[in-house]
Amino acid sequence: MELTPTQKKRYNRHLILDGFGKEGQQRLLQSKVLIVGAGGLGSPVSLYLAAAGVGTIGLVDGDQVSLTNLQRQVIHTTPDVGRPKVDSAEEKLKAINPDINIVKHEIYLSEDNALDIIHPYDFVIDGTDNFATKYLVNDACVMLGKSFCMGGINRYAGQVMTHRPGTACYRCLFPEPPAISEVETCAMVGVLGSIAGMLGTVQATEAIKCLIGVGEPLFNALLTFDALTMNWQRFEFPKNEGCALCGKHPTITRLKEYAFQPCSKKK
């Protein structure tokens, strides 16, 4: 696939970039990335991946835009309140880059649909706002052999890791979600809006690195930051051979109940 004259102009800063070039851009244009959650993290991830020319971007979100989203979910605007998030996001992404194909999944990811939805994609971004769906994304991706980047934010802090088949998964680090009484959602404790951008742009960068094969993604590593001190730390952790999902003797072999009930409070 040759780049058109318009594409050569649009992607010029990638084409002249060491380690990227025409081959990298062509690879992006042929790539399919699924973004689970068109919210705080999904906004910057999808904006940057669309601008970068990722050929197919899938968006999974069954939610509608609400006023409390707008403090951090920068792909949505005030007139979008009440619209499905996937419609609102699609409109902005297409305006940024008409080259790309947007696939809307206006539904919540569940154990019934996760494998089918994720299957056609090359890379998955977790931008969800609850543990149930994060473990679902992790488990489904490991079962399907898909690479993904998992992100989480709350208050003033964020954390992110990247997986490809054979490297540590989220369960290697956190074998099980915290007890419900320990869980702090953004709706409960708040979140600084701008850190969604800090973490989401890391996720978008990780996706691009994996797709074009450049640099060292956060495999077997967790990157954390604290926006108050602006301390960023990278922690190494190996694949856990005792992991219930990806270890030597897995006990999780099919998607089970993840018990996520979309709640109106989180809006």
Partner 1 sequence: MDININNRKTSITSTNLQELAQEMSLPEKGVAVAINNQMIPRTEWADTPIADGADIVIIKAACGG
Binding site for partner 1 (CB under 8 A): 37, 39-42, 126-131, 134, 151-154, 157-159, 172-179, 182-186, 191, 196, 222, 224, 229, 231, 233-237, 240, 242
The nearer residue to partner 1, 100 or 173, going by C-beta atoms, is 173
Name the minimum Å distance from CB 235 to partner 1.
5
- Tokens 């590593």 sit at which residue? 221
| CA-to-CA dists, residue 164 to 63, 109, 144, 173, angstroms | 29, 21, 11, 15
The nearer residue to partner 1, 57 or 222, going by C-beta atoms, is 222
Name the minimum Å distance from CB 182 to partner 1.
5
Name the minimum Å distance from CB 117 to partner 1.
17
Q: Residue 232 and residue 252: Cα distance in Å, rounded?
A: 33
The nearer residue to partner 1, 11 or 123, going by C-beta atoms, is 123
| CA-to-CA dists, residue 91 to 21, 87, 252, angstroms | 28, 6, 39
In single-letter form, the type of residue at position 20 comes to F
The nearer residue to partner 1, 15 or 224, going by C-beta atoms, is 224
Name the minimum Å distance from CB 197 to partner 1.
13
The nearer residue to partner 1, 51 or 244, going by C-beta atoms, is 244
Name the minimum Å distance from CB 89 to partner 1.
14
The nearer residue to partner 1, 16 or 180, going by C-beta atoms, is 180
For residue 75, give every residue at least 6 positions away whose Cβ sits within 8 Å of its Cβ, in sequence order, or none.
38, 42, 43, 46, 47, 88, 89, 92, 93
Q: Which of 163, 137, 165 is nearest to 237 (CA)?
A: 163
CB contact burial 114-140 (16+ within 10 A = b; e otherwise): beebbeebbbbbbbbbbbbbbbbbbbb
Strand partners, 105: 60
Name the minimum Å distance from CB 97 to partner 1.
23
Instruction: Collapse the DSSP code of 50 into the 3-class scheme (helix H, G, I; strand E, B; otherwise coil) and give the result.
Output: helix
Name the minimum Å distance from CB 184 to partner 1.
8
Q: Residue 61 and residue 86: Cα distance in Å, rounded?
A: 6
Instruction: Collapse the DSSP code of 95 into the 3-class scheme (helix H, G, I; strand E, B; otherwise coil) and give the result.
Output: helix
The nearer residue to partner 1, 20 or 48, going by C-beta atoms, is 48
